[in-house]
Amino acid sequence: MTERVLEISKLHKSYGDHKVLNGVDLDLNGGDVISIIGSSGSGKTTLLRCVNLLEEFQEGVIKIDGREIGYSNSKGKRSKVNNKQVTKDRALTGMVFQSFNLFPHLSAAENIMLALRKVQKKSKKESAEIAQHWLERVGLPDRGSSFPGQLSGGQQQRVAIARAIAMNPKLMLFDEVTSALDPELINEVLDVIKSLAVEGMTMLIVTHEMRFAYEVSKKVIFMNDGVIAEQGTPDEIFKNASSERLTAFLKNTRF
Amino acid sequence: MSTGFFNELWVSKMMIFRGIYMCIFVSFTAILIGTIIGVFVGLALTYGNIFTRFFARAYVDIIRGIPVLVLILTIYFVLPVIQINFTALQAGITSLAIFSSAQVAEMLRGGLQNIPKGQTEAAKAVGLGFSQTFIFVTLPQALRQVLPTWVNTAVETVKGSTLISLIGVVEITLVMQQIIGRNFLTMQFYALAGLIYFLICYSIERGGKYVEKKVAIK
C-alpha cells in the first residue's frame, strides 16, 4: 500500500466576506499526479497556496505525511504554529509559480543552490553538484552560470522547477506554470513535468492545459465556486463529463 | 596678478589640504553613520509594526522637512540647553549623519517595496526564513536599485558639509574664507573651492557609476 502524502480536509478560506474555498477535501498518495482544472476565481490557485502555507486559512486541516502543517489543534483550540515551524512545514512542499520568480541577481545554479546551502546547510560543493544534476535533468546542463535575464521564459521555468525539486520535497505544487509562456515554449516545460511524473514524483498541478492534464494525471479535479465540483479519472472528466457546469467549462477550453 | 595667485596658493597649500581632508573626513563619517542608521529606520518603515512605523515615518518626514543648516545650528546651539554639548566637529558630523540617514531610510523603503511579491514568496517556498529572505533575496536587489540615489545622497552630504563652516569647522569653505581674508583674491580662491568640490563630487559619481555597472543584474 502506498502511503498517504497529502490529506486536505474541510478546508475553508475567505478574504473578509468573500469565500474562496468552501470545504475542500482532497487526498494524494505517494506518486499520485492530480490536476486541478476550473475557471479563474474557482479557488484552485488559492488551494495550492494554502498547501504551501503562503495563505492562511480559517478552517480545515492539511496534513503532510500524516502530520498537520501550519496550525496545531490542542484541546479543540486551533492556533497558528510559530514562524519557524511554518518555514519548516513549507519546506515539505516545492512550489513552482506562474511567473517563475527566479532571483534575478543570482545565476541559474545559484538560484538552485541558495536554499540548499542556507536551509539544508549543505556544503558549497555538494550544493553545486545537486544544482548541476537538476539542471541536466531539466535539459539545461550548460546554463548554470546564466542569469535569469539571459534565459527564455521556458528555460527560466525549468530552472524554477529544478530549484523547487532540488530541495527534495514530499510533494510538488505547480501553479499554472505555463500560463506566462509563449505557446512555443510551453511543451519544453510540460515535458519536464511529465518526466517527473513518470519517475513517481507526487504532484498537484493547477493547469489550463487540458491535453496535458489528460495525459499526465491519475485523477482530475474540477473546481467551481470554491468546492470540488467533480473528480475522476481523466477519461471520466474529459470524455464523459456529466454535470452541466463541467460540460460548459470544457466547451470553452482548448484541448 | 596670476603670479600672486600661485604664490598665495603655494603658501596656503597645507591649509587647503587640511580643509580637503576635513571635508572628506566629515562627509565620509556622516555618510557611514547615516547609512547604518538609515538601514535600520528603513527596515522599521518597511517591516515594522504600526508603532515602529509611526515613529520611523515621523523621524524621516521631520528630518527631510528641515534644512540641513537649521539641523546643524540646532544641534550645535540648542542641544547644550539640555546638557548635550557637542564640539563643532561632532555637531557637524551628527547633523549631516542625521540628514543622510533620513534619505537612506526613505530610499531603502522604496527599494524594498519595489521588489515584486513573487520574490519573497519564492524565497519562502524554498524554505528561507524571514531574515534569510531579507539578506539573500530582497536586500541585494534593493541595494542595486538604491545605489544611484545613494550616490546622490553622498554628493548632497559633501555639498552640505560646506554649511558646517558656519559653526567654525575648518573645512574647504572656511579655509578659503581665511585665505581670502589675508590676500583678497576672492574670485580665484572661491573658484578653486568650487573646483575642489566639483572634483570630489564628480569622483563619487563616477565611482558610483562604475559600481553600478559592476553589480548590474544581467
Q: Quote the longest CA-to-CA distance of chain B.
A: 73
B3: pLDDT strictly greater than 80: no
Smallest CA-to-CA distance from A189 within A167, A212, A210 is with A212
pLDDT higher than threshold 60 for residue A1: no
Question: What pLDDT, on the 0 to 100 scale, is given for residue A252?
Answer: 83
Percent over 90 (pLDDT), chain A: 80
pLDDT for residue B1 is more than 60: no
- Res. A164 pLDDT band, cuts 50 70 90: very high
pLDDT at residue B2 tops 70: no
Convert B130-170 into a string of H (helix), E (strand) and C (coil).
HHHHHHHHHHHHHHHHHHHHHHHHHHHHHHHHHHHHHHCCC
The dihedral of CA B96, B113, A147, A134: what is its sign?
Answer: positive
| pLDDT of res. A126 | 96
Give Cβ neighbours of residue A154 (< 8 Å, ≥ 6 apart).
A181, A182, A185, A186, A188, A189
Interval B162-199: pLDDT, tens = 999 999 999 999 999 999 999 999 999 999 999 999 99
Query: Which of A29, A36, A44 shows the shortest CA–CA distance to A213?
Result: A36
B136 contacts A118 by C-beta, under 8 angstroms: yes
Facing B118 at nearest CB: one of A87, A97, A118: A97
Q: What are phi and psi of A20, to 5 degrees?
A: -100, -45
Rg (CA), chain A: 18
The tens digit of pLDDT for each residue in B74-130 reads: 999 999 999 989 999 999 999 999 999 999 999 999 999 999 999 999 999 999 998
**To the nearest 5 percent, what fractions of chain A are helix, strand and coil?**
35, 25, 35
pLDDT at A202: 95
- Structure confidence at residue A76 as a pLDDT band (50, 70, 90): confident
Give Cα A105 to chain centroid, integer Å: 24
pLDDT band with cut points at 50, 70 and 90 for residue A41 = confident
Region A125-138: mean pLDDT is 96
Nearest to A105 among B125, B132, B140 (CB): B140
* ipTM of the complex in this document: 0.89
Measured distance CA(B194)–CA(B204) in Å, rounded: 15
CB contact under 8 A, A83 and B129: yes
pLDDT at residue number A53: 94
Q: Which three cell numbers stand for residue A36?
A: 486541478
* Residue B41: partners with Cβ closer than 8 Å, 6 or more residues away: B56, B59, B60, B101, B102, B104, B105
Residue A59, strand partner residues: A12
pLDDT for res A147? 96
State the DSSP H helix or E strand holding residue A161, giving kind and residue range, or none if neither: helix A153-165
Q: What is the pTM of this model?
A: 0.85
A12 pLDDT exceeds 70?
A: yes
pLDDT at A241: 81
Q: Are A158 and A139 in contact (CB under 8 A)?
A: yes
**pLDDT attached to residue A251:** 85
**What residues of B are in contact with residue A90 (Cβ under 8 Å)?**
124-125, 127
Per-residue pLDDT tens over the stretch A43-61: 999 999 999 999 999 999 9
Contacts of B119 in chain A (CB under 8 A): 101, 103
Q: May I ask the CATH class of domain B3-215?
A: mainly alpha
Domain ranges of chain B: 3-215
Mutate to test the interface with B, among A90, A118, A143 (most CBs of B within 10 A): A118
Q: Which whole number is the average pLDDT over B201-218?
A: 92
Cell numbers 557611514 label which residue? B32
The rounded distance, in Å, linking the Cα atoms of A90 and B124 is 8
